[in-house]
């Protein structure tokens, strides 16, 4: 049997009833499958827990963090709930749209950009989750630096005078 199968059995043993392991099993399968759940991933989880793939899909489709389509290499999620909104979250979203040349909701090979509901960091707005790690106090002017970092290119602070000369 596969490593995934064996690991799911360990999870299963933590619970009095094995059905409880379906969420952690799906989380693991998603992680092993590059961040999304393919048909094969559902079959694997179903086999490991004696469930049907359809049941596993019914669970995955209920929860926002399960992804049913491939994601980009980096997933960028901007909270646009009230507290972040009051502090300029929309400007942050638009800065990412410009920097990544894509619209919120879209996916490329390199990036998935989406807006999400409250990430629970309201006092440190705007919260941006980059590959599930929360960046705090993000402002629109911070976005080019984050984009450069994720693209693996060196970030050069724009020189105001050079801009004027150009």
Partner 1 sequence: MSTPEIVFAGCNGGALTEIADYEAVGGFQALAKARALTPDDVIAELKASNLRGRGGAFFPTGMKWSFVPKPDKLDKPHYLVINADESEPGTFKDREIMLRVPFRFLEGALIAAHAIESTHVFIYIRGEYEAEFEVLVASLEQMRAKRLLGDVTIVLHRGAGAYICGEETALLESLEGKRGQPRTKPPFPAIAGLYASPTAVNNVESITTATSVLELGGEEYAKLGVENSAGTRVFSLSGNVVNGGNYELPHGFPLRDLINDIGGGIADGRTLKAVIPGGSSTVVLTADEANTVTLDFTSLVGAGTAIGSAAVIAIDDRCCMVQLAVRVSQFYQHESCGKCTPCRVGTKWLTTILQKIEDGRGTQADMDLLVSVAERINGKCLCPLGDSDAIAVMSYFDKFRDEFQAHIDEGGCPFHGSSSLDQLLAPVAMHIHEHTPVHA
Least Å distance between CB 28 and partner 1? Answer: 10
Task: Report the alpha-carbon distance of residue 27 to residue 45 in Å, rounded.
Answer: 10
Residues 35, 38, 70, 124: which binds partner 1 (CB under 8 A)? Answer: 124
Interatomic CA distance for residues 114 and 94, integer angstroms? 11
Per CB under 8 A, which of residues 35..54 are in contact with partner 1?
none
Please pick, from the candidates 20, 33, 38, 108, the single residue that binds partner 1 as defined by CB under 8 A.
20
Strand order in the sheet with 133-135: 111-116, 74-79, 128-130, 133-135
Residue 14 or 40: which CB sits closer to partner 1? 14
Residue 41: exposed, middle, or buried by beta-carbon count in 10 A (0-12, 13-18, 19+)? buried
Nearer to partner 1, 132 or 163 (CB): 132
Q: Which of 29, 36, 87, 143 binds partner 1 (CB under 8 A)?
A: 87
Minimum distance between the CB of residue 153 and partner 1, rounded to whole angstroms? 26
**Ramachandran category for residue 155: left, alpha or beta (phi over 0 → left; psi -120 to 50 → alpha):** beta
Contact 140, 93 (CB under 8 A): no
Residue 70 makes contact with partner 1 by CB under 8 A:
no
CB 166, min distance to partner 1, A: 30
Angle between helices 22-32 and 39-49 (to 10 degrees): 140
CB nearer to partner 1: give 90 or 148. Answer: 90
Whether residue 70 contacts residue 34, with contact meaning beta carbons closer than 8 Å, is answered with yes
**Which residue, 14 or 52, is less far from partner 1 as judged by CB?**
14
Residues of the shown chain interacting with partner 1 in the complex, contacts defined by CB under 8 A? 14-24, 26-27, 58-59, 62-66, 80-83, 85-90, 93, 103-105, 114-125, 129, 132-134
């Amino acid at each position: 049997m596969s490593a995934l199968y064996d690991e799911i059995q360990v999870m299963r043993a933590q619970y009095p009833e094995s059905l409880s392991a379906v969420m952690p099993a799906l989380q693991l399968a998603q992680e092993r499958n590059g961040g999304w759940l393919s048909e094969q991933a559902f079959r694997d989880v179903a086999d490991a827990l004696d469930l049907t793939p359809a049941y596993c899909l019914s669970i995955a489709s209920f929860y926002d963090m399960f992804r049913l389509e491939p994601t980009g290499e980096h997933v960028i999620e901007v909270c646009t709930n009230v507290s972040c909104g009051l502090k300029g979250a929309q400007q942050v979203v638009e800065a990412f749209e410009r920097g990544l040349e894509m619209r919120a909701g879209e996916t490329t090979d390199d990036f998935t950009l989406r807006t999400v509901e409250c990430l629970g960091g309201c006092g440190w707005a705007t919260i941006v989750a980059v590959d599930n790690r929360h960046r705090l106090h993000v402002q629109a002017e911070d976005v080019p630096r984050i984009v450069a970092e994720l693209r693996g290119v060196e970030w050069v602070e724009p020189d105001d005078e050079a801009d004027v000369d150009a």
